[in-house]
């Protein structure tokens, strides 16, 4: 099995994401990732295993005895939440996932409060964290940083796993996992995810959640993907190239109402103006036709669902919140369970949890 210790950083960084995946797997060869960095590491069997594990954790956690058992599973492990980019949901759901499994946590949520403020390199910061913790869950505005740190740690004297909780405008794999988990749960008694139509709407150019989820959806059969956005914020060519390569049906559009009418799931996103090259650039883009409200709710299928990675602004009207098809609050809670499953599996405790007596 390929290992990160067997390849230099320049060579590794030049590989495609598919070519990088084997270097990031656990040594046991069970298909599970050691470092979780991007969506290309997950195929359908692995997605279904993780969703089954998340369901099992949910069930066990319903009783006091079961919850106490789960807290004992990884009580000997420590995790560092290194979030140098603002976050609330992603931070808290990873924190809650660790707490479910009994993991002790530490955190840095602002580089200004770490030694990076004094000029320490990110590589040295990561090596410092690895001295105290058994896993690093990191979120950064810097594209590709999680990959570089995973390579650095794998080639150190204390290699520990890294979970990418958002890397620049690039990928957000654990968000994509919770999105897939939400879709699977939403359609589990309605024929499944295969053959569905998923509509993405909003800032598709800079939305890393869209990039990651779009790829994970290619693991399912005959799922059509529709991208609805202003031309300035339409999905990037590299995403479309992947869909073409995999023979996935897709459509580019600017008509949200038509998309909603045919959709099984609508995935709304906010305008990612934190990535503006000049302040206020996004505000000049006409986005009024890319909002989901009462009219769109009437057009959505009775068994459809509305999703959003959150936070939202006004792209989903609050009048939608109590509709049973609004899944974004359940989606958020699902993140805690699927992230607990991923963390447990990363440490090799999948079977211990699946086979326990609770």
Distance (Å, whole) CA 317 – CA 294: 7
Tell me the three state secondary structure of residue 289.
coil
Identify the band that residue 276 occupies on the pLDDT scale cut at 50, 70 and 90: low
Distance CA 202, CA 199 (A): 10
Instruction: Determine the average pLDDT of the residues in 243-259.
Output: 96
The stretch 220-234 carries a mean pLDDT of: 95
Identify the pLDDT of residue 283.
73
Using the predicted structure, report yes or no on whether residue 115 has a pLDDT greater than 60: no
User: pLDDT at residue 278 above 80?
Assistant: no
- Contact 231/289 with Cβ under 8 angstroms? no
User: Could you tell me if 147 and 13 are in contact, meaning their C-beta atoms sit under 8 angstroms apart?
Assistant: yes
- Residues 292-306, mean pLDDT to the nearest whole number: 96
Q: Rounded mean pLDDT of 203-217?
A: 90
pLDDT in tens, 136-152: 999 988 888 999 999 99
Helical (H) or strand (E) element with 197: strand 197-201
Q: Token pair 């599970």 is at which residue?
A: 32
- Digit-coded pLDDT (tens) for 86-109: 788 899 999 999 999 999 999 998
Residue 8, φ and ψ in degrees, nearest 5 = -75, 160
Q: What angle is formed at CA 298 by the lines to CA 293 and CA 299, rounded to 5 degrees?
A: 100
The pLDDT, as a whole number, for residue 29 is: 72
Neighbour tally for 72: CB within 10 Å: 10
Does the pLDDT at position 119 exceed 90? Answer: no
What angle do the packed helices 173-186 and 44-60 form, to 10 degrees?
Answer: 70
Lookup: tokens for 108: 């840095």
Quick: pLDDT tens for 13-39.
999 999 999 999 987 778 889 999 999
Residue among 298, 328, 324 at smallest CA distance from 315: 328
Q: Which residues are catalytic?
A: 89-90, 118, 139, 172
* Signed CA dihedral, 251, 205, 176, 19: sign only: positive
Tokens of 266: 């609508």
pLDDT on residue 176: 92
**Can you give the pLDDT at residue 112?**
61
End-to-end CA distance of the chain: 35
CA distance 7 to 12: 6
Per-residue pLDDT at 111 exceeds 70: no
CB-based contact 264:302 (threshold 8 Å) = no
Quote the pLDDT of residue 80: 97
């Amino acid at each position: 099995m390929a290992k990160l210790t067997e390849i230099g950083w320049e060579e590794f960084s030049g590989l495609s994401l598919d070519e990088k995946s084997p270097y990031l797997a656990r040594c046991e060869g069970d298909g599970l990732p050691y470092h979780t960095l991007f969506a290309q590491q997950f195929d359908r069997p692995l997605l279904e295993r993780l969703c089954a594990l998340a369901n099992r954790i949910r069930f066990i956690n319903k009783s006091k005895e079961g919850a106490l058992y789960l807290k004992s599973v990884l009580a000997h492990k420590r995790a560092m939440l290194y979030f140098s980019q603002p976050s609330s949901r992603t931070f808290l759901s990873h924190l809650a996932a660790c707490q479910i499994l009994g993991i002790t946590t530490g955190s840095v949520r602002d580089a200004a409060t770490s030694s990076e403020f004094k000029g320490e390199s990110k590589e040295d910061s990561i090596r410092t964290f690895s001295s105290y913790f058994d896993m690093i869950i990191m979120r950064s505005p810097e594209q590709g940083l999680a990959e570089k740190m995973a390579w650095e740690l794998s080639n150190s004297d204390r290699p520990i796993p890294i979970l990418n909780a958002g890397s620049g405008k690039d990928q957000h794999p654990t968000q994509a996992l919770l999105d897939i988990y939400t879709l699977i749960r939403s359609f589990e008694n309605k024929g499944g995810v295969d053959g569905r139509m998923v509509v993405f709407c909003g800032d598709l150019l800079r939305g890393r959640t869209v990039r990651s989820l779009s790829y994970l959806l290619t693991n399912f059969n005959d799922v059509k993907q529709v991208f609805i956005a202003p031309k300035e914020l339409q999905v990037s060519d590299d995403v479309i190239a992947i869909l073409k390569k995999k023979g996935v049906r897709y459509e580019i559009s600017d008509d949200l109402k038509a998309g909603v009418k045919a959709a099984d799931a609508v995935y709304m996103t906010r305008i990612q103006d934190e990535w503006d090259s000049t302040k206020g650039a996004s505000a000049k883009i006409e986005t009024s036709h890319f909002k989901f409200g009462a009219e769109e709710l009437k057009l959505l299928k009775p068994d459809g669902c509305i999703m959003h990675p959150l936070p939202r602004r006004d792209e989903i009207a609050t009048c939608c919140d109590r509709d049973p098809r609004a899944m974004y609050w359940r989606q958020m809670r699902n993140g805690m369970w699927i992230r607990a499953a991923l963390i447990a599996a990363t440490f090799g405790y999948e079977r211990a949890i699946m086979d326990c007596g609770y």
